[in-house]
Amino acid sequence: MGSSASIAQEYYKVQDYWAEVDSNADWRLAIWVAQYPDIDILDKFMEVERSPLGIFGDIFFRFETPYKGDDSVFEKSLWEEYIEWFTEKVEPSTDIMLALKNEGLLLKSYFPDTNQEATAANLWKELLRFKSCIEGIEEERFCIYFPPTRVDAPKLTDWFSTVLKDGVPKGIRLVTIDYAEHRKVKLRPSSQIILLEPELNMIEAIKNDMDKDSNNYDTVGVENRFRKQIREVMDCSLKKNNGVMDRETAKLLSLSKEMGSVSALISALMITSHAYYSINNQDQCKKYAEEAIIRSEEAIKNNDPTGYPIWKAATLLKGAVLAGRKHRREAIEVYTKLAEEAADRIDVFYAMEGYRLSGTLYYELGEINTAFETTLLALVSGSHLDIDTRRQSTFLQAAALALYLGNKCRGQSDMKILEKQLSDWLGNDWKDLVETEEMSKVKERRKSSIFS
C-alpha cells in the first residue's frame, strides 16, 4: 500500500472520510484527529470545500482568529473577523456579497448586527440571519472551520465544550483539525461530536510524487502553473460565464497533458466536470465526467491507485446530472455500476450509496417493490461499516426509506424482521435515529412528467 501512495490518492481518501459523516444532520462539531504529516492535506480539503469546486452541500467558512486562552477575548475577535468579511475591500472577483447580488440570490440587503453582545451564541444566530438572506439554501448548512492552532497554543477543549453546552443551532456545524499526539480539543464522540481519525500515508505519497517528478526537467514549473490554473477555474465558477470557463478549462487540460501524468489528467477532467456543474452547464459536466470515467478505468486496468477514487467521483457526478434531468433509468444504471464495483473492492460506503441512490430513483419511478429490494442491498452493504459510522451517515436515510417502502409492499412479519435487523445494526434506540423530521424527507419524491 505504502509504495503506491500518491497525493491525489490520499486526498480522495479524505473526501471519503468526510462523505461518511456529511449526511448526518445531528452532529454539531467534527474534529479531524490527525498525525502531523496529514495536517496540510486536511486543511487543503477544507479550503477546496470553501471554493466553488467543493463537492459537498455545506457552505464552508473559515475563521483565522487564534485562540490565546481567554474565551471572551476570542469570541470578540471572532465577531470582529466576521464583520471584516463585509467591510474589507476585496477584488470584485472574490466579493461574496457582490456575487450574490449579481446572481439575484440576495433576497434582502445584509450587514452584521454590531449592537449584539460579542458571544459565540450570538455569532451563530447572526450567521443564520445571513443565511436567511440568500435564496435557495434553506436546506444547506453553514460549516464553520477553525484551522489547527499552533502546537504550543492553549487548549480549546473547554471553549468547544462550553459552546456545545450552550447550544449550536440547527443549520450550523463546527469543524476543526487537532493533533493526534498533542490534543487541543480533547472531547469524546457523542451525538453532537464526531471524531474523524484518517489513516493516511502522506510521507510516502509526497516521496512517490517527488520520485515521479525527478524524471521531468520542468515539472515544478508546470505543477505551479497547473495549480494556479486550478484557481483560475475556481474563479470562473463564480463568474458563471461559459465562454471564460471554456477557455480556462482548456488551459487546465493542456497543462495536465504537459505534466505527462495520468493522475494529473484524470484529476483535471474531474475538476473541469465539476466546474461546469457549478455553473449549471450540465452538458459539459456530463461530457467531462464521462471522459474522466473512461480515462480512470484505463488507469484502474494499469493498477494506478488514483484511478478508482476519481472513477467513483466522476461516476457519482454523472449520476447526479442524469438524476437531476430525471433520466432515472440511465442514472440507475450508473449508480448500480458504482455499487457493484465498490462492493467488489470492499468499499462498503460507496456500495451502500450506489444502491441507496438507485433505490430512491426506483421509488420515484413508482416501482415500490424494486425500490425496497434495492434499498435493502444498501443496508446490507452499509452493515459492514462500524456502528458509529452507521449511526452518523446516509445509512439512516436508507433505513428510513426501507421502512417506508416496506410498509407499502411487505407484511407485518417481514417488517418485524427488518426492525429487528435495524436494532442489531443501529442499537436499541434505532427509532430515535430513523424516525425524525430530517429522515422523513426521504419519503418526498419529485413528480414525473410526460417527458421523464
Print pLDDT tens along the chain (452 aa).
Answer: 445 667 777 888 899 899 889 888 889 999 999 988 888 889 989 988 887 778 888 889 999 999 999 999 999 999 999 998 888 776 665 566 777 777 777 888 889 998 889 999 999 999 999 999 888 888 889 999 999 887 778 999 999 999 999 999 999 999 999 988 888 999 999 989 999 999 887 777 766 665 554 444 454 577 778 878 887 887 777 767 788 899 999 999 998 888 888 888 998 999 899 889 888 899 999 999 999 999 999 999 988 888 898 999 999 999 999 999 999 999 999 999 999 999 999 999 999 999 999 999 999 999 999 999 999 999 999 999 888 888 888 899 999 999 999 999 999 999 999 999 999 999 999 999 898 877 888 877 665 443 33
The dihedral over CA atoms of 21, 24, 30, 31, expressed in degrees to the nearest 10, equals: -30
Per the CB < 8 A criterion, the answer to whether 202 and 45 are in contact is: no
The β-bridge partners of 177 are 32
CATH 3.30.710 applies to domain 2-200:
no
Distance, CA of 307 to CA of 301 (rounded, Å) = 9
Q: The C-alpha cell of 356 is what?
A: 441507496
Question: What pLDDT is stored for residue 217 in this prediction?
Answer: 42
Question: What pLDDT is stored for residue 212 in this prediction?
Answer: 58
Question: What pLDDT is stored for residue 134 in this prediction?
Answer: 86
Per the CB < 8 A criterion, the answer to whether 332 and 373 are in contact is: no
Q: Kindly report the length of the chain.
A: 452
CB neighbours (10 Å) of residue 284?
18
Helix (H, G, I), strand (E, B) or coil at 32: strand
Spell out the CATH class of 216-325. Answer: mainly alpha
What's the distance, CA 93 to chain centroid? 24
- Helices vs. strands in the chain: H and E counts, helices first: 19, 5
Distance, CA of 353 to CA of 15 (rounded, Å) = 14
What's the distance, CA 116 to chain centroid? 33
* Amino acid of residue 178: D
179 membership: H or E segment, kind and range: strand 172-179
Q: Largest alpha-carbon pair distance within the chain? A: 69
Residues 6+ apart with CB under 8 A from 167: 121
Q: The C-alpha cell of 270 is what?
A: 474531474
Question: What pLDDT is stored for residue 450 in this prediction?
Answer: 32
CB neighbours (10 Å) of residue 309?
24
